[in-house]
Structure 1
Amino acid sequence: MADHQADATVYHWWVSDGEHASIKVIQQYIEARGMHWQDRAIAGSGTARFGDVLKAAVEAGEPPMASQVIGYDIHYWASRGELVNLDDIAREQEWDEVVPYGIQTLSKYEGHWYAAPINTHSTNWLWLNGDLFRRLGGVAPDTWEDLLSMLEEARKLDIVPLAIGHEAWEHTLLFEAVAAGAGGAEFYRRAFLELDPTALDENLLLAIFQRMSQLREYLDEDFSRITWNQATRLILSGEALLQVQGSWVDGEFSYYGYIPGQDYACFRFPDTQGMFLFNSDQYMLFEQGPGDEEARREFVSTLMDVDLQRDVNVSSGAAPARVDVPGDAFNPCGRQAISDMRSTNMRRTLMGSIAMGNANPPEVKNAIYQVVSDHLYGRIDDEEAVHRLREALMNHSAGR
């Protein structure tokens, strides 16, 4: 156990109600190990806003002990030589054996562990208001045509069929589910993870953007004024039928005491069954941050503890970042997530989320953001979106 005087200064972006409850779980575990938790919560979900604050602190010579991080941002910090190498702890706790392979590719840089993953969120979910779902027949939409039919029936009830917020990452999260459903797992992997220019079939990309245009017709006219968690509250209140979002929505529902199968329903986005588009929250430790080696080891070892990963993800709605955490304590949506995570890990269809920076480096992600958000707002048409997306992906492919 670490010295009781050790400070665990932690930067993170978990600021919504459900996320705040989840960070408290981590805090309780860390403090039980004798460390003093010093919290710095910054809204931003791993985007430039959060990153700018963290960079400013590091450049000022005041890095935290640890910071939440996702995706290729880990590689950015590791390449600068700023992070603590975690190989010894990883070897001791057998991370190579229990962490899904897709997550390991992000946690590691040049073959070495630099971040500890705490969860495996997935983004290709539908979250539906339970009462409205039953009014519309109570049958999960299995195909794209099923989804459109359900959205149309919701519109006839004079409710918002599809809730979404105003930020580009939300629009890209919707896009990635549509793209995976339309093109399949091999297309998604080749086009967006491997940046293979031969995968960028114009007709398929056009079909994807045409589907996005269809969905635009079912959005709330005020979506440009709300955030993702405000969109979630529209589902909770029955003002909207469904939301396409990550499994952190399950954490929001749970925080407010809602019961899956009764108050809300969770299903895979149509035609993405058998795929798990993931976002893994991770923690990296700074070489120049506070805390001695013992405190750092205690902090990281605690994050990877089976019990912590169970409890924090029962709260957050995610699957754990370990394949060996029992699912008994999770609700039905959580148990489904764990089952899906394990099976897709075996089939290598557990693939990084574009929207959450787990598929591409930031420059590629941001280029996709711009095209997808401009298109959803109706600033560019389907054909222009295809042209701009192909150009962006091929330019970055050439740069690899």
Structure 2
Amino acid sequence: MKRALRRGVCGPLLAALLLASLAPAQGGNRAPGGEVEVLHFWTSGSEAGALAELQSTLHRKGHLWKNFTVANGGGGLAMVMLASRVNSGNPPTAAQIKGAAIQEWAHTGALSSIDDVANTDKWNALLPRNVSDTMKYNGRYVAAPLNVHRVNWLWIDAAALRKANAKPPATWDEFFAVAEAMKKAGIIPVAYSSQSWLDMGTFESVAIAVGGVDFYRRAFIQLDPAALNSPQMIQALTTYRRIKQYSSNASSGQDWVASTSMLTHGRAGMLLMGDWAKAEMQAAGRRPGSDILCIAMPGTAHAFTFDVDALAMFQVSDRNKQAQRDLAHAVMDKDFQQAFNLAKGSIPVRQDVSLDKFDECARRASADFKASARRGTLLPSLAHGMAQPAHTVARMWDVINRFWSNDRMGAGEAAAQLARAAGQAGR
């Protein structure tokens, strides 16, 4: 739900990959392959580069790749267009869907089982249970996971931190102290995008810090009204709003790429965002882990909020079944997992992929992911549709966005509205 419209950016790597995807397939005796049409809303430079890896892989298999791109599709337009295609009997081969939406589509009977590929390639042994369960419906795989994003990252410009004579914050009190020090040093403390999914992504991390993992589960996974409208939630809302006084463009609606650019070009000291921002940092010549520091959002080092991109497989003609199987196989191929995630800024969803080529922040994310899996503190991100269906998330997004934008709205009122928004989920 986080893909924003941006100009197409073709660096040398992307250009080479695109040229490779257009080259004639080797092996003149091979029968023509099938068609692979993928609905997605990856439109930023790093996102397009990551997708080009998959295009190139499928082309080498002899299949024709067709983009079904919906710019800014995370806002709902993509799902409207997808529903129209499915209802007319002309679904794409696969679509960028994740979390609860996979189960909803599978329930309609529109998705195709890829258990034959999953069993052959031993996906159950390669994936953490928390991830594999979201890819299945009635125990059968209907989607292929591409990656794991960590949502609860805090990025800090190392030079800004030195200028402010401060240390990376471990708590929200320390965060506000660092922000104040940066402000006094003439630095904009926080680059902030007020897109709804980013509002919620930051807020859910504050809620973990204030209430803990069990509180997060009760509030955002179980939608417990007592947790949603509680003193802990009011405290989380109050803490969250404090960020606003240290943020630039707090109500401008600039997208995540523009906010990331503020950090990478030295115009702000900190950024509250998942690791999809990292690829944009690298494109700007900044090194994650040294030039830009990466730490868990304050108070959340013990937890890992995750967002897993996936391709849900739709019912297709027999002619394109093999192309769809090859797509599923390619998504989980070890070499592709490495290449895709290096381009994307995320970490491989497979647990056996070497991280030697990955940066320090990716290696830390992978270690934290495995540690959280052992502790039972892996948390599906509400903001990114991993914990709840899109219509529920949208209602809760709206409350948090209005609370951020409207200073007259009290924390108690916002907590009550969150509870009401969650209560409408089943209606």
TM-score range, shorter chain: over 0.9
Contact 1:98 1:322 in 2 (8 A): yes
Question: 1:200: Cα distance to partner?
Answer: 4.0
Counterparts of 1:188-199 in structure 2, within 5 Å, are: 188-199=216-227
Once residues 122 and 97 of structure 1 are traced to their aligned partners in structure 2, the CA distance between those partners, rounded to angstroms, is: 22
Aligned to 1:102: 130
1:235-261 superposed Cα distances (whole Å, 9 cap, x missing partner): 111111111111101111123332123
1:282-317 superposed Cα distances (whole Å, 9 cap, x missing partner): 001211368522221111011011111111111111
Question: 1:374: Cα distance to partner?
Answer: 0.6
SS in 1 for 2:72: coil
Contact 2:37 2:68 in 1 (8 A): yes
SS in 1 for 2:269: strand
Question: 1:229: Cα distance to partner?
Answer: 0.8
1:3-50 superposed Cα distances (whole Å, 9 cap, x missing partner): 543221111111111111111122222222222222232223633122
Counterparts of 1:235-250 in structure 2, within 5 Å, are: 235-250=263-278
Aligned to 1:234: 262
Question: 1:198: Cα distance to partner?
Answer: 4.6
Q: Quote the sequence identity (%).
A: 30
Contact 1:18 1:254 in 2 (8 A): no
Counterparts of 1:300-311 in structure 2, within 5 Å, are: 300-311=328-339
Which amino acid counterpart does residue 382 of structure 1 have in structure 2? A
Counterparts of 1:140-159 in structure 2, within 5 Å, are: 140-159=168-187
Question: Structure 1 residue 79 and structure 2 residue 107: aligned?
Answer: yes
Which amino acid counterpart does residue 419 of structure 2 have in structure 1? R
- Extract unaligned runs of 5+ from structure 1: none
Question: Structure 1 residue 388 and structure 2 residue 417: aligned?
Answer: yes
Moved more, 72-81 or 203-212: 72-81
Contact 1:90 1:113 in 2 (8 A): yes
Aligned to 2:305: 277
Question: 1:339: Cα distance to partner?
Answer: 0.9
Question: Structure 1 residue 24 and structure 2 residue 52: aligned?
Answer: yes
Once residues 300 and 134 of structure 2 are traced to their aligned partners in structure 1, the CA distance between those partners, rounded to angstroms, is: 23
Once residues 11 and 280 of structure 1 are traced to their aligned partners in structure 2, the CA distance between those partners, rounded to angstroms, is: 16
Contact 1:371 1:388 in 2 (8 A): yes
Contact 2:34 2:322 in 1 (8 A): no
Question: 1:191: Cα distance to partner?
Answer: 1.7
Question: Structure 1 residue 319 and structure 2 residue 347: aligned?
Answer: yes
Contact 1:163 1:223 in 2 (8 A): no
Contact 2:381 2:387 in 1 (8 A): yes
Of 228, 237, 259, which residue of structure 2 is paired with 1:209? 237
Of 349, 357, 374, which residue of structure 1 is paired with 2:385? 357
RCO higher in structure (CA 8 A, sep ≥6) = 1
Aligned to 2:4: none
Question: 1:272: Cα distance to partner?
Answer: 0.4
Question: 1:121: Cα distance to partner?
Answer: 0.4
- Output the aligned Cα RMSD: 2.0
Question: 1:273: Cα distance to partner?
Answer: 0.5
Contact 1:9 1:290 in 2 (8 A): no
Moved more, 100-109 or 334-343: 100-109
**Runs of 4 or more consecutive aligned structure 1 residues displaced over 4 Å after TM superposition:** 1-4
SS in 1 for 2:190: strand
**Structure 1 residues 53, 138: closer, same or farther in 2, change over 3 A?**
farther
Question: 1:104: Cα distance to partner?
Answer: 2.3
Moved more, 218-227 or 80-89: 218-227
Counterparts of 1:90-169 in structure 2, within 5 Å, are: 90-137=118-165, 139-169=167-197
Once residues 232 and 250 of structure 1 are traced to their aligned partners in structure 2, the CA distance between those partners, rounded to angstroms, is: 9
Question: 1:377: Cα distance to partner?
Answer: 0.5
Contact 2:34 2:63 in 1 (8 A): yes
SS in 2 for 1:217: helix
Which amino acid counterpart does residue 323 of structure 1 have in structure 2? Q
Once residues 66 and 238 of structure 1 are traced to their aligned partners in structure 2, the CA distance between those partners, rounded to angstroms, is: 39
Once residues 212 and 317 of structure 2 are traced to their aligned partners in structure 1, the CA distance between those partners, rounded to angstroms, is: 43
**Structure 1 residues 110, 196: closer, same or farther in 2, change over 3 A?**
farther
Aligned pair count reads 398
1:195-237 superposed Cα distances (whole Å, 9 cap, x missing partner): 2345446110110010012111112145424111111011111
Question: Structure 1 residue 37 and structure 2 residue 65: aligned?
Answer: yes
Counterparts of 1:323-362 in structure 2, within 5 Å, are: 323-362=351-390
Once residues 53 and 289 of structure 1 are traced to their aligned partners in structure 2, the CA distance between those partners, rounded to angstroms, is: 20
